[in-house]
Amino acid sequence: TMFSLKVILLLALHLLPEVKTSMVKLNNNGYEGIVIAVNPSVPEDEELIQNIKEMVTEASTYLFYATKRRVYFRNVSILIPMTWKSKSKYLMPKQESYEQADVIVADPHPTYSSDPYTLQYGQCGDKGQYIHFTPSFLLTNNSSIYGPRGRVFAHEWAHLRWGVFDEYNVDQPFYFSRKNTIEATRCSTHITGMNVVFNECKGGSCITRPCRRDSKTGLYEAKCTFIPDKSQTARDSIMFMQSLDSVVEFCTAKTHNREAPNLQNKMCNHRSTWDVISESPDFQNAIPLKGTNPPPHPTFSLLKSQQRVVCLVLDKSGSMSTEDDLGLSRLIRMNQAAEMYLIQIIEKGSMVGMVTFEDYATIQTNLIKITDDRAYLNITSKLPQVASGGTSICSGLKEGFQAITKSNQSTSGSEIILLTDGQDNGISSCFEEVKRSGAIIHTIALGPSAAKELEILSNMTGGHHFYVYKDINGLIDAFSRISSRSGDIAQQSLQLESKAFNITRNKWVNGTVVVDSTIGNDTFFVVTWTRRKPEIILQDPKGKIYETSDFKEDKLNIHSARLRIPGIAETGRWTYSLHNKHINSQLLTLTVTTRAKSPTTLPIIATAHMSQNTAHYPSPMIVYARVSQGFLPVLGISVTAIIEAEDGNQVTLELWDNGVGADTVKNDGIYSRYFTDYHGNGRYSLKIHAQARKNTARVSLRQQNKALYIPGYVENGKIIMNPPRPEIKEDAEKVELEDFSRLSLGESFIVSGAPPKGNHTPVFPPSKITDLQAKFQGDHIQLSWTASGNVLDKGKADHYIIRISKCFLDLQDDFHNALLVNTSGLIPKEAGSAEHFEFKPESLKIENGTGVYIAIQTISKANLTSEVSNIAHVTKFIPPWQSSAPALCTNISALSLTVFGFTVFVFILNE
């Protein structure tokens, strides 16, 4: 059995590396288990559901042919919110939840448009988080703007499932091609259209003029827009403009535009979308279906969310009496965290039960509806006081199911929070029963000996998994993360602070906690201690003082006391002071939780995860933290990650949102960093602190990875306009926020193959530079980029290699043989710093109209080399445009004519 258990564990770790537990599986060419969830704030509307079904059905056939008869949608669950009326056709969900949905239907920020988009911030080929459609998009006919909804869904599915990126670029809509022509950023270049500036638009008609050249860059002026022809012959690409009737394919290696300055080229090293898609795990076994028949239509299940049912399954075996360095047992720490969960975290109206286990399990309470303080006390009074016996995890789970069914509730869709510090060789014996139950199992592994199979339980049921060891607040933080999965953010508890202080005899410690204006309902301050209750002074922003006597001590002797702030907590900076009155040093902790100020106020939330749940050294991992208000990214804040290894070793990392290194896109509210400081094998935990200080925080109204809004089409030589999109003024794009703080625990992850602690040979090269930019200043070229680092995105590298060419392909395919630039005076700065370098391209003949391509590699102190950077392009441009410079790297010559302030290009093919 031990051999089969190891096989199960190995399989689980290799089959379930994804960070977001999606239920989607590809089975015999058909996708199964797709979850589309409607937000609780969306009003009931039968048409909405009908339109979702039609969109997915249309998308299924479109994708089937776009993937050359490989994949289609077989079955889809639509999750109806609790706020809608019950109907006999609605079934009960199992593990499907809003939190884990693949597609979310929700209203956007009031000032934001209805562009469909995918939350996607991984590397090339990585799955996205979810697709977001607004009710307005699904209920309004937008086909002239985005194309049919099914095509839009196919575009977004490619983002979500296969990790490809958009082939347009609204910030850089035009570029110089290697033929020395100005091209619209698109894929493929076979898509035709006009480049115009709109002077005045009324109704559906506009006065336009040709685009002029910018006197500095030589490209078209900022207001220039590419308007596609309605009638096209080009068949690709879905990731550029799926709205065109002719577009039915993804760009292939043959049709892909490698030069376009878009995110697909940046993220995927100039590879075509079809190259990336065809390498996805989905396509390894998806052999094209034979015949000419279209795929069968998808089947739909309507599931309605139920009230929340949670059963705590808590370990009280002998090892739970183990004391930490400060004299508190694991049992007491568990009880502190469980009590806090019951009083502060679980949402009102939920049904909660509790089971404890050792060699056998006992139902302490069947389900109790949480309505008032008495309900909490009925459960907390049964928390275990004595630890003894062995560890039978399956007994605990089975009794957990019993506690739920005895209360006339279904295990399907219920949640179990399983906490254990022990090993159990028989845990695999109940895997099948767990699967059949339909329950979601969240696991908390306490200490280095906790059963290694806990992650399998969480992964197979769509639950969370956490690891806690030396981090004294870790258990409280883990319980705080297990909040409602319904999508009702107003209900969710938010953690503002979680701090531990080792205070010597008779000393005070002071600090502050910020309560911002989006929160303040149901606010608790909790203090714990190891020896004796400290003196506590808490002052609100208006000067009101709460003292030790206001903090209610629990009746269970678990060394904690809490204060619930009546009504809505005052907005601003709260100040606390803790005084150790014990004769010896002791450890004190402070935890602060709260909820949204009101159901209509969107609170700021922070979530964190690693790029994978498992890593085999030396593959680097990426830490991600997402900070948002509703669906909008929060920028300009400080985000710190704390990663703890199984032996208690902690690493602190400052996360960045600067678009370099591990970070995909600058200013998208996703803060990222590479993690390479492995400290042995086993479980690691992740925690993040997000803080806004000195009024630097702001909300951005821009989203990435979305279906392109088409302003109009050219038909028979005339431009037919679409309704103008809602304009977002520049100053409204970044709305300032007050100071705030959030704390969140990420799920645990497992490392294998790491060297012994401290025995690290350099294996990680500097990260790739992705933001290289170039411009001409007289006869010199000025370069700017962000320093990558010595080890991926950390430290200072040894030196840079810069090469140039007049030919794009020289740098793309043969970097090492391109012309070398003298960089003897260029010393790399610290990772994340702005770098600037100027040089004169002596070896190239530069004339007016000459284009130069530049790329960089970074070399580490251990002589490891980064990937070649993005390829920057700069053209020597002296207005007025008089040059007839020959085309480069091609058999096409270009003749330029200046007519009425705009340029016409005439191409003569040299056969």
Mean pLDDT within 741-760: 87
- Confidence bin at 17 (pLDDT 50/70/90): very low
DSSP code for 487 = S
Residues 6+ apart with CB under 8 A from 57: 73, 150, 297, 298
**Is 81 found in the same domain as 49?**
yes
Is pLDDT above 70 for 455?
Answer: yes
Is pLDDT above 80 for 443?
Answer: yes
Is pLDDT above 70 for 727?
Answer: no
Label residue 270 left, alpha or beta by phi (over 0 means left) and psi (-120 to 50 means alpha). left
3-state class (DSSP) for residue 217: coil
Question: What integer pLDDT is reported at residue 204 of this predicted model?
Answer: 58
Measure the CA dihedral 541/543/548/554, to 10°: -40
Question: What integer pLDDT is reported at residue 810 of this predicted model?
Answer: 84
The span from the CA of 429 to the CA of 437, in Å, is 14
479 closest CA partner among 349, 334, 642, 625: 334
The active-site residue out of 156, 399, 497, 747 is 156
Is pLDDT above 50 for 841?
Answer: yes
Question: What integer pLDDT is reported at residue 373 of this predicted model?
Answer: 79
Contact 394, 424 (CB under 8 A): yes
**Is 565 found in the same domain as 686?**
no
Mean pLDDT within 802-828: 90
Mean pLDDT within 125-132: 94
Q: If you write DSSP's letter for every residue of 728-785 in order, what string do you get?
A: --GGGSEEE---EEEEEEEEEEEEESPPSTT-------BPPP---EEEEETTEEEEEE
**Helices 46-66, 149-162: inter-axial angle, 10-degree rounding:** 70
Total domains in the fold of the chain:
4
Q: How far is CA 521 from CA 537, 683, 774, in A?
A: 21, 35, 51
**Is 314 found in the same domain as 289?**
no
- Confidence bin at 20 (pLDDT 50/70/90): low
Is residue 716 assigned to a domain? Answer: no
Task: Say what percent of the chain tops pLDDT 90.
Answer: 66
3-state class (DSSP) for residue 652: strand
Among the candidates 304, 337, 363, a domain finishes at 304
- Of the given ranges (475-484, 521-530, 540-549, 752-761), which has the lowest mean pLDDT? 752-761
Is residue 249 assigned to a domain? Answer: no
- Paired tokens of 539: 């002052």
Question: What integer pLDDT is reported at residue 112 of this predicted model?
Answer: 61
**Is 645 found in the same domain as 574?**
no
**Is 663 found in the same domain as 575?**
no
Label residue 539 left, alpha or beta by phi (over 0 means left) and psi (-120 to 50 means alpha). beta
Is residue 344 assigned to a domain? Answer: yes
Question: What integer pLDDT is reported at residue 383 of this predicted model?
Answer: 94
Question: What integer pLDDT is reported at residue 486 of this predicted model?
Answer: 80
300 closest CA partner among 479, 116, 36: 36
- Confidence bin at 324 (pLDDT 50/70/90): confident
Mean pLDDT, the chain, integer:
88
- Give residue for tokens 């959030």: 742
- The CATH number given to whatever domain includes residue 741 is 2.60.40.10
**C-beta neighbour count of 616 within 10 angstroms:** 15
Q: How far is CA 879 from CA 140, 301, 771, in A?
A: 47, 63, 27
Contact 441, 463 (CB under 8 A): yes
3-state class (DSSP) for residue 675: strand
3-state class (DSSP) for residue 283: helix
Among the candidates 541, 570, 596, a domain finishes at 596
Q: Rounded to an integer, what is the distance from CA 173 to the centroid of its chain?
A: 26
- Of the given ranges (135-139, 429-433, 503-507, 760-764), which has the lowest mean pLDDT? 760-764
Domain range enclosing 839: 773-876
Contact 316, 384 (CB under 8 A): yes
Task: Say what percent of the chain tops pLDDT 70.
Answer: 92
**Is 292 found in the same domain as 409?**
no
**Is 686 found in the same domain as 644?**
yes
Is residue 720 assigned to a domain? Answer: no
Residues 6+ apart with CB under 8 A from 755: 617, 678, 761
- Confidence bin at 525 (pLDDT 50/70/90): very high
Mean pLDDT within 18-29: 78
**852 bridge partner residues:** 874
First to last CA, the chain: 72
**Is 586 found in the same domain as 468?**
yes
Is pLDDT above 70 for 511?
Answer: yes
**Helices 330-340, 474-481: inter-axial angle, 10-degree rounding:** 30
Is pLDDT above 90 for 95?
Answer: no
Question: What integer pLDDT is reported at residue 606 of this predicted model?
Answer: 95
Question: What integer pLDDT is reported at residue 851 of this predicted model?
Answer: 84
Residues 6+ apart with CB under 8 A from 559: 328, 332, 336, 528, 529, 530, 533
Instruction: Establish whether 58 is a catalytic residue.
Output: no
Among the candidates 596, 623, 655, a domain finishes at 596
**Is 682 found in the same domain as 619?**
yes
**C-beta neighbour count of 880 within 10 angstroms:** 8
Pairing type for strands 174-176 and 72-73 reads unpaired
Contact 48, 79 (CB under 8 A): no
- The CATH number given to whatever domain includes residue 467 is 3.40.50.410
**Is 787 found in the same domain as 859?**
yes
Mean pLDDT within 815-829: 92
Is residue 905 assigned to a domain? Answer: no
**Is 449 found in the same domain as 584?**
yes
Is residue 235 assigned to a domain? Answer: no
- Confidence bin at 812 (pLDDT 50/70/90): confident
Higher local confidence (pLDDT), 899 or 70: 70
The Cα angle at residue 749 between residues 671 and 639, in degrees rounded to 5: 20
Is residue 570 assigned to a domain? Answer: yes
Is residue 339 assigned to a domain? Answer: yes
- Confidence bin at 109 (pLDDT 50/70/90): low
Q: Which helix (H) or strand (E) holds 151?
A: helix 149-162
The span from the CA of 61 to the CA of 148, in Å, is 13
- Confidence bin at 216 (pLDDT 50/70/90): confident
Residues 35-89 pLDDT 10s: 999 999 999 999 999 999 999 999 999 999 999 999 999 999 999 999 999 999 9
Mean pLDDT within 26-30: 94
**Is 467 found in the same domain as 322?**
yes
Burial class (CB in 10 A: 0-12, 13-18, 19+), 567: exposed
Burial class (CB in 10 A: 0-12, 13-18, 19+), 465: buried
